[in-house]
């Protein structure tokens, strides 16, 4: 009988990577949401319960977006040896998918649905026919990069 997983250590390396990635994504987004909340109008207009709910809600959404982006990248460009081989390609595509969704989500929620609004303090970048907040874009660069870097670094140390 042929085993799908030739080497149990490779499976555990993958599982270990995913756990570490998820941890940094979750904690990073929770901290980021708390720090950039004053760049949204809810900070000035909402109750503390609304602000807390928004921060937790956005953190949960960001976790789901990050996991979906990683899974999509794995399906599109991953291989059976990942994360040992093709690691960088998957990381790049996961970040691209996360950034693309962020642009769409910011447009949808700020301009179309008007679910949230930027405060005057939010630095914005012109994007097509609308402006997008700089901190949401940076969030989808900094946190995934840190997550991939830390998870991969720990994986290399654990399986060296």
Query: What's the pLDDT tens digit per position in 87-134?
Result: 999 999 999 999 999 999 999 999 999 999 999 999 999 988 899 999
Asked whether residue 148 is domain-assigned, the answer is: yes
Q: Give the Å distances, CA to CA, from 159 to 87, 107, 137.
A: 15, 42, 33
Q: Does the pLDDT of residue 2 top 60, yes or no?
A: no
**pLDDT confidence of residue 3:** 47
Domain membership flag for residue 154: yes
Cβ neighbours for 52, distance < 8 A, ≥ 6 positions apart: none
- 62: pLDDT strictly greater than 70: yes
Question: 107 in a domain, yes or no?
Answer: yes
Within-domain flag for 82? yes
Structure tokens at 160: 């060296």
Q: SS3 of 129, please?
A: coil
Residue 3, domain member (yes or no): no
In a domain, 1, yes or no: no
Residue 100 covered by a domain: yes
Q: What pLDDT does 10 receive?
A: 63
| Total domains present in the chain | 1
**Rounded Cα–Cα distance for residues 102 and 4 (Å):** 35
State the pLDDT confidence band at 156, using cuts at 50, 70 and 90.
low
Closest CA to 27 of 70, 58, 59: 59
Q: Please give the residue range of the domain that contains residue 21.
A: 8-158
Q: Is residue 30 part of a domain?
A: yes
């Amino acid at each position: 009988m042929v085993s799908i997983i030739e080497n149990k250590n490779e499976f555990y390396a993958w599982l270990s990577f995913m756990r570490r990635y998820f941890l940094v994504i979750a904690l990073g987004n929770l901290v980021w949401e708390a720090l950039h909340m004053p760049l949204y109008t809810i900070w000035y207009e909402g109750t503390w319960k609304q602000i807390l709910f928004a921060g937790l809600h956005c953190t949960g959404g960001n976790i789901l977006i990050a996991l979906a982006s990683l899974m999509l990248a794995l399906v599109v460009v991953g291989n059976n040896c990942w994360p040992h081989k093709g690691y960088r390609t998957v990381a790049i595509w996961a970040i691209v998918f996360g950034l693309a969704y962020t642009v769409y989500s910011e447009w949808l929620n700020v301009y179309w649905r008007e679910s949230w609004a930027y405060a005057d303090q939010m630095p914005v970048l012109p994007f097509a026919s609308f402006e997008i907040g700089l901190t949401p874009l940076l969030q989808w660069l900094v946190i995934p990069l840190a997550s991939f870097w830390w998870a991969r670094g720990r994986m290399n140390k654990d399986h060296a």
